[in-house]
Every structure is written in structure tokens, then in C-alpha cells.
Amino acid sequence: MKKGIQLNPVLDRITLKQVNRILSVIFIISLAPLLILAFFDHPAIDDFVFGAQIHHTIQAGGSIFDTVRVAVEQTAQVYQEWQRSFAAVFLFSFQPAVWGESFYWITPYIMLGIYVISTFFFGKVLCVDLLKASKAQWCLLSVLIMGISIQTMPSPVQGIYWYNGAVYYTFFYSLSLLLWGWILQEHLKHPSFLRKGIILVFCVLIGGGNYITALLSVLLLFIWLAVHIYRKLPGRWFIFVALVVLAGAFVVSIIAPGNLVRAQSYEKQSILMTILDSFYYGSYFIREWSEPLFWGVSIAMALVFWKMAGKTTYHFRYPLLVSVGIFCLYCAQFSPALYGMGSYGEGRILNIIYFSFWLLWAAQLFYWCGWLRRKINHYCATHRENQCGMRKGFRKSKPYMIAFCTLIVVAGCGIRMVKDDSADFHGLISLEATYSLVSGEAASYDQEYQNRLELLEDPAIRQAKLTPYTKRPYLLYYGDLTQKIDYPWSNRAMERYYKKESVWADWKTYHQIFPD
């Protein structure tokens, strides 16, 4: 027999805990450049729109009660005149730079922090408490889902670095994960009045947040209530109350007078076209997101799910029905933007749909693994074999599946490392952050912002003519001033924020120096 590299004995010695430790270290290291880049982050566009009144209140020496009062008043005004999401608008007012430009760096720490904490918490309750998985399995699955969700998110600038967009979507999506963790705890553990109170408060917050998260939460809570009623489980009345509170807050957000004003800026669709387009775009983005990295991570999760499924008592009888239901829940998230704006929306909307896509895909993958494992067990029991060939074959092939999965993940990361700007394609965002830091792009962007700030904070300058940014880091830059002085979402906003007569960008001179 020829001697060669014996791959199987080597891989057999690798334990799940070891793989988990390695991936956890990689995940932590991958966050480092993102957090370092945060110190070059600065406010933009709507940060100035919603933060102006609070900023002026703080500058005038207002107390914390004054700032809260001003934020409530602004929320009520915006609710009447433009935007319905009352809980989100309240948080918009407190963008970190209102206390000083040097505080804006905390934005990515808040967004990444709450996303990581909420995902770990929800995963722990779901995997360990409900499905009886090991802590290593829970951590591994959480790291895999968070890792790929963060590194390949559609718009990291809108999901992490721009406060207004990130708090509206990433933050409220994370709140929904915390909510579902507590709902599952209420189901599994001894009922707690404190936990019930927190759940109801979060129902109000999420109902008054973005429509995508609110709609998905309402649908899931309705399904959860139906399951409790069908199986006659305890706690049905509280779930009903929570659903009423969540749906009520959602309705209050929907019927806002400001919605009628805002709707005039967009072309609405019919309900039928909204439903059809939701399924179309849902299918379209599944194809877009199903890259090599997706399949590598999916295989890795399937290996974990296969083992987890053996510890549960669920029967996994309806895989097709569950798949259809999950697909409908996923597609439903496109409907609010399609109905209200006639499009699926900007990157910040796609971010949270992408986050939930991974969780829903994981749920579907687990269910199918459980169904297949039950079928194999039934086949082996029927044939009365102590060692079923199918089981034995799976155990023998498992090390090679791990190696194959690793190769796919490495290949997927390699493809992501190659950036093709012509196709608007970007690599892993940790690499993007590293490039911005090492190349000096982030430092140049920061210096250009500081140069602007000197003019904007100088009370002697009443008309501020600013130079457009020459450096625009992919992760930090989100919009700029226009030549048009009265443009409301940037020029007028900065004018009010810094108390100037006018603020604009000198694009004419810029194009003479930097021709396209």
C-alpha cells in the first residue's frame, strides 16, 4: 500500500471546541480594523437634520431633562410633518456628535456592540436553552452567522458608521433579537413580571422603529401565538397582549400624518404589485447572496445542525411547509419599502434583510437536517441494523466535508478580496477598513473634515464655502454638500446645525482641479 498523507486521522482529532476557539479568535481580530476605523468617522446628512436642536440645547447649557424634552418635541413635530417612526426619530436626535464632534467615533461601537450582544444572546436562548445544544455549538453558529453578515453586509457605511441610518435599521433589528430572546425565556423559564415588562417596552420601541423589523416581528409573534393556541401551551394571554402592544405601536407609526406628506415624494405601488415584487426581489437577492462564501458557511452550519438535531425531540415532519413559510417571511420584508417608495430601498434596508436572511436560512437548514436525520434513523431502525451503512458513511465522510467546507470558505474569501469597482463590488469589509487605514485614505478624509470644521465653528464666518471631499473611503463616506445652497438634506441641515447664513460646496472649482 502506498504511503501518503493521511488526512482522515488528522481531521478526526479536531474537536468542535478547537474549531470554535479558532473561529472566535478570527472573528475578534476581524473586528479590530473596523473599530480602529471608527476614530476617523464623522456625521453626515440626516445626522445634522435631526441633531441640530439637541446640539443647540447642549451648547446653551441645557440639562439632560431639557434635551429629552426637546427630543420629544421634535419627535412629535416630525410625526406630524414627515416621518412616522416615533421611537427611531427620538433616537435620531441623540447622534453622538451633538455632545461634540470628537464623540462620533462611538457610533460603530454602539452598532457593532449591540448587534454582537443581541445575536449571541438570542442564539444562546434558542440553541442552548430551547434546542439543548452545547455552548460550543451555540458560539460556533453565532460566530459564523455574525462573521459573514458583518463582513459581506450590503452597505457597511449605512449599517455601522453612519449613525442615522445604522440606528434606524441595525440598532432596531438588534433590539428585535433581544426581544425574541426574552420571549423564548418567558416560554422556557419561570414567568417573570420584570421580563414581561421589558418585553412590552421593547414591543413599543420596535413597533415605533423601522417598518421592516416591525412587520417581521408582528408576523413572527402572530405565528408564535398560533402555535401556543394550537398546542394549548401556557402563556397564551401574555403573548396576545404583547402582540396587541406591538401591532398597536406599529399602527400608530403607520397612521402618522407625516406619512401623507412624505408619500408625495414617492410613487406608491398597489398592494398586488407590492406582493409580486416582494417575491421577485426576494428571489433576486437570494441569487445575489448565494456566492461561494455562502455555501461554505452553509455547509459548516449544516455539520453543526446535524449533530444538534440528534439531541432534540422534534419530529421535523413538514420541511416543505416550513421552507415555504420561511421564504414568505423573508420576502415580506421587502414589502414596506416597495409599497411606500416603489423600490426595495437603500443599503441600510438591505442590511437588515440580509441579517435576517441568514437567521431564516439557518432555521430552514436546521429543520432539513433534522428531517433528513429522522429519515435515516427510521431507515436504520426498519432494517434492524446496529450500524447502518448510511450513518457509518456519514461519519467517515465528515472529516472530508470539514476540509471541503474550509476550502470553499477560503475560496469565497479570496474572491471577496478581489475588488472590482466597475461592478460596484467590494471585498470583506475588514479588508476595506485595513486598506483605508494603511493607505492613509481614512486619515486624509478625517483631515479634510477637520479643515471644514474650522470654518463651520468659526462664528466670524457667516457664509461657509467648503471644498468637496477628495478622499471618500468606502466605509466612511456617505454623501456631501451640493452647489445648491438651499438643498435641505445637507446644505440647509449643516447651515442650521452650525448657525450659518449659508453652507455649500464649491464643486465648480473642485472639478477644475479634479476633472472626472
Three state DSSP letters for 319-331: HHHHHHHHHHHHH
Query: Per-domain residue ranges for the chain?
Result: 12-40+105-189+256-417, 46-102, 190-255, 440-513
Q: Write down the pLDDT at residue 263.
A: 60
Q: Write down the pLDDT at residue 1.
A: 41
CB 70 within 8 A of CB 62: yes
Half-sphere exposure of 277 (CA within 13 A, CB side): 19
Could you read off the pLDDT tens digit of each residue along the chain, which spans 516 residues? 444 444 444 444 566 777 788 888 999 999 999 999 999 999 988 899 898 899 999 998 888 898 999 999 888 888 777 667 888 899 999 999 999 889 999 999 999 999 999 999 999 999 999 999 989 899 999 999 999 999 999 999 999 999 999 999 999 999 999 999 999 999 998 888 999 999 999 999 999 999 999 999 999 999 999 999 998 888 899 999 999 999 999 998 888 776 665 666 666 778 899 999 999 999 999 999 988 788 888 988 998 898 888 888 888 889 999 999 999 999 999 999 888 777 888 889 999 999 999 999 999 999 999 999 888 877 777 765 555 555 555 555 555 555 555 655 665 565 555 544 434 446 789 999 999 999 999 999 999 999 999 998 888 888 888 888 888 999 999 888 877 767 667 788 888 999 888 888 877 665 555 555
Residue showing cell 406582493: 275
Residue showing cell 460556533: 140
Q: Write down the pLDDT at residue 217.
A: 96
Q: Write down the pLDDT at residue 7.
A: 46
Q: Write down the pLDDT at residue 426.
A: 63
Radius of gyration (C-alpha) of the chain in whole angstroms:
25
CB 425 within 8 A of CB 419: yes
**Cell reading at 470:** 477628495
Q: Write down the pLDDT at residue 174.
A: 97
